[in-house]
Structure 1
């Protein structure tokens, strides 16, 4: 899945760990990620969290897509920082799951919280 995700790779987002119901990704905040206020654009923080959500909910090798999500931005992120997003499954009931993704900076401070609702669809991520 990572090899097919051109957007995630183009942004330099690295897949650190994935296991059933869990994923951890990292992203360096490049100068071209900064907005007009000189801080990391919220859309890029969202993309890191959303990618983490995608890997966590697809970790069972069942094609899974987002059915909805929300994000709360809690702290400004400076250029040059390293962001880590950790996604943890909260519940998986039938074809629907809920995942929480915590995004932290280099100091371990929470900069954003993302919650995603997933829906399993037909097919597998890795052919069986």
Structure 2
């Protein structure tokens, strides 16, 4: 199907699929794309033993990477290549081996070439583990060739 014939939902799903196909880091972390919509993404992964830090907790870098990946999927749903111009995370609770972590990304604002996205990180008990804020910047190009 041609990009111009897609609904916004179809376009968001197609962009997410293309991003995931190219994202070897996300594939290596076994990140799953659970849900996507324009300006929104829900991704998950299971914490493996090789993702633990020296305190047997989920390494913050892996938690950040899951949130960053959800951020990428949410801000690239419009078929405009969009990258991070900055992001922060606040960890409020740890994850542990075997936990399923879920990052839910929501667009807060998008204007011109910039946007702001908030991502909340949960475990399988719906406990909040972290808060990530990403600032996006649209560059040249499209995710799916037009």
Please state which band the TM-score falls in when normalised by the shorter chain: over 0.9
Tell me the residue number matched to 2:64.
Answer: 46
What TM-score results when the alignment is normalised by the length of structure 1? 0.99
Structure number with the higher helix fraction is 2
Which 4+ runs in 1 deviate beyond 6 A? none
SS at match of 1:114: strand
Aligned-residue CA RMSD (Å) = 0.5
Deviation at 1:120, TM superposition (A): 0.4
Cα deviation, residue 19, structure 1: 1.2
Corresponding position of 1:83: 101
What's the counterpart of residue 74 of structure 1? 92
Q: Match for 2:139 among 90, 106, 121?
A: 121
Give unpaired runs (5+ residues) of structure 1.
none
Offset, 1:41: 0.2
TM-score by length of 2: 0.87
Q: Deviations over 1:82-120 (max 9, x none)?
A: 001000000001110000000000100100100000000
User: Which of 1 and 2 has greater Rg?
Assistant: 2
Aligned residues: 128
Any residues of structure 2 matched to 1:1-128 within 5 Å, and which? Answer: 1-128=19-146
